[in-house]
Amino acid sequence: MSYVPLPIAEANIKKPRKRNEEDEANQLLPSSPASSSPRRDPDLDPDPDPDVAPPFSWKKLWLFTGPGFLMSIAFLNPGNLEGDLQAGAIAGYSLLWLLLWATLMGLLLQMLSARLGVVTGRHLAELCREEYPNWARLVLWAMAEVTLIAADIQEVIGSAIGIWVLSHGAVPLWAGVVITAFDCFMFLFLENYGVRKLEAVFAVLISTMALTFAGMFADTKPSGTELLTGLLIPRLSSKTIRQAVGVVGCVITPHNVFLHSALVQSREVDHQSKGRIQEALNYYNIDSSIALVVMFTINLLVTSVFAKGFYGSEEAQSIGLANAGHYLQKKYGGGFFPILYIWGVGLLAAGQSSTITGTYAGQFIMGGFLNLRIKKWLRSTISRSLAIVPTIIVAVVFNTSEASLDILNEWLNLLQCIQIPFALIPLLTMVSKEQLMGSFTIGPLLQRVAWTVAAILIMINGYLLLDFFISEVKGLLVGFIVCAFTTAYVAFIVYLLQYGNVLYSKWINSVSSKFSRSRS
């Protein structure tokens, strides 16, 4: 298996001598992490039992910290901000509980993705190439690319809107798109000077988002009582269903499932030792949990700000990424640092960080599904071009109307939600497969929980398709095309479930038999 170095701390934690942080961060991995049995550093690893995870170490946690935070950036991209502000403005605090549960579901799925990557030494796209027939692999790759392009359009346009806001409209949207399109190459260039420097840039971007949106929260002073009520008491009305679906769709992103299974391979793990594998899983679970707590808090702040400022107002239905800063400025005024600029800086940081991680996800998806063996810069160029050309077209077409841009963002969120089964079903199939995972196969209880989460998300997809039929399909020809697409969509989901073999079916059969016995 060829390995593309990742833009995170490449920490080899089992070298026989002490090194400084930069040495640890820049240590490259062998071509096959599963094939090597690296030596242990006695300062970090005091001769443990190979079948038992070593005791917790803060130093080891620091060395494993990184992939979870890069993964978590997808939980706060411009699409998320669009979903947050619309949920707050239209539904008030009532969807905060859904944001919480969507984040918890996302955490479970990302932990399973990390588990797959650590245990097998391969990421999800590679495993799909190996496990599925060629035609199914190509369909999965096409679906993953569509999702990635939809996410990248949001991320790049979000960055462009941030530039437009901060420049008071002097830099048009299409120019902001061009500027943002090339930022990933700047970051790849920065990686040549040490990945710790690249990590520092990501830390600055995440800190910027946290500080700016926390500043907005402090300026607007949302109600603590209503916030807690929204978190703890589930509420959903027919008027807020689309916003609710958008919240779920923009929190759980399919390309992020592929990405995390690759990011965790940046740390070398002794695959001959069950204890070492379990140790890595423990640290990655902590890393992911802390990162998603941070991202959930930021999403919560944004939703609360717009719930406080615009819920029940005339502007609620028209507010979006492009005009949100102006509405905030009009509502809350200037101050020492005008809230318009706070919003612009936070939006730009969200767009820049998520654009870079999206580029890396594109590399792994393309390389894994198609088994490409090309240089990293060329792979970045190809994956970037696949997304940037439609993004520029979208920027030119939709630049004339803020309302049309907001509608585009909303439907891009929904498009990503529709693609979720094509990442989740392969993931759950792989982590439940004993031939791949060995003793690290997930147990029956976790299987049931994970498949329940997937079933909930697939049912949400069903609602989206039904809503699309009712509201958008007009005319016999269009209706026929959409029916054909929907039939193919459902048939492929059923195929993936059957191909994944009986784990899901066994659970359904066990539930059915228990229900039958209770009736008799």
pLDDT in tens, 165-215: 888 878 887 788 888 877 666 666 666 665 556 667 777 888 888 888 888
Helix, strand, coil fractions of the chain, as percent rounded to 5: 75, 0, 25
pLDDT value for 223: 84
Assign 473 a pLDDT band (cuts: 50, 70, 90).
Answer: low
pLDDT value for 289: 95
- What's the mean pLDDT in 36-41? 41
Assign 282 a pLDDT band (cuts: 50, 70, 90).
Answer: very high
Token reading at 438: 């060995």
Residue type, 344: G
pLDDT over 70 at 49, yes or no:
no
CA 76/CA 327 separation, integer angstroms = 21
pLDDT value for 118: 93
**Is the overall model pTM greater than 0.75, yes or no?**
yes
Give 20-39 as a DSSP string: -HHHHHBPPPPS-GGG--PP
pLDDT value for 161: 86
Q: 148, 362 in Cβ contact below 8 A? A: yes
CA 125/CA 128 separation, integer angstroms = 5
Task: Say whether 42 sits in a helix, a strand or coil.
Answer: coil
pLDDT value for 176: 83
pLDDT value for 383: 66
pLDDT over 90 at 159, yes or no:
no
pLDDT over 70 at 403, yes or no:
no
pLDDT value for 405: 65
Query: What is the overall mean pLDDT for the chain?
Result: 78
CA 191/CA 6 separation, integer angstroms = 9
pLDDT value for 8: 41
Tell me the domains of the chain and their CATH numbers.
Answer: 51-428+444-472 (1.20.1740.10)
Among 11-15, 96-100, 101-105, 229-233, the minimum mean pLDDT is found in 11-15
- What's the mean pLDDT in 66-75? 86
Question: Which letter, b or e, does each residue of 339-371 get, where b requires 16 or more Cβ atoms within 10 Å of its Cβ?
Answer: bbebbbbbbbbbbbbbbbbbbbbbbbbbbbbee
pLDDT in tens, 333-373: 666 677 888 888 888 888 888 887 887 788 888 888 988 77
pLDDT over 50 at 36, yes or no:
no
pLDDT value for 303: 92
- Residues 6 or more apart from 87 whose CB is under 8 A from it? 95, 99, 240, 243, 244, 246, 247, 303, 306
pLDDT over 50 at 26, yes or no:
no
Higher pLDDT, residue 238 or 161: 161
Assign 426 a pLDDT band (cuts: 50, 70, 90).
Answer: very high
pLDDT over 60 at 129, yes or no:
yes
Assign 1 a pLDDT band (cuts: 50, 70, 90).
Answer: very low
DSSP 192: T
pLDDT over 90 at 519, yes or no:
no
pLDDT value for 18: 41
pLDDT value for 52: 78
